[in-house]
Amino acid sequence: MRLFVLLLFVLFGLEGNRLQAQSMPIDTVGFQTFSHQSGDTTYLMKQYFMCFLKVGPRRDQDEATAAKIQEGHLAHLAELGRQRKICLAGPFADDSGIQGVVIYSTPTYEEAVKLASQDPAVLAGRLVVEIHPFWAAVGAQLF
């Protein structure tokens, strides 16, 4: 587990993102968290849910219908972003069958599944979801 946590720190470049107990930038009330001490720095780890958006069984819609579904998919993600229910979303750039990723910031797995299942592309069968619990330090950033 320590190696996994260390890899997360390297992955997210957390050297410049040390957390101070008195100023947590992200709400953690109701979320699963734990503290990790590394040298003189304490990181607050929070559970998120990583959702892989995979090719679904129904991709036979005509071009206009597929475009409307995609528009709804993007609007759904934008709304979840405004609500701070997701903290990252984006497409993959290869043909692996995984179309994209969304990281949900929800207190429970069930809420992440519910929100992912409401995506118009999932409802239409163009995408299916695979969701896994994921730990990251509060305040972690991509750069």
pLDDT single digits (tens) 35-57: 999 999 999 999 999 999 999 99
The answer to whether residues 55 and 111 belong to one domain is: yes
pTM: 0.79
Count of domains observed in the chain: 2
Is residue 55 in a domain?
yes
pLDDT in tens, the chain (143 residues): 333 333 333 344 433 344 333 344 567 888 999 999 999 999 999 999 999 999 999 999 999 999 999 999 999 999 999 999 999 999 999 989 999 999 999 999 999 999 999 999 999 999 999 999 999 999 888 88
User: 77, 57 in Cβ contact below 8 A?
Assistant: no
Is residue 125 in a domain?
yes
Q: What is the CATH number of the domain that holds 85?
A: 3.30.70.1060
Q: What is the DSSP string of 64-90?
A: HHHHHHHHHHHHHHHHHHHTTSEEEEE
Q: Rounded to a whole number, what is the distance in angstroms from the first to the last CA of the chain?
A: 25
Residue 75 corresponds to which tokens in the numbers above? Answer: 């609007």
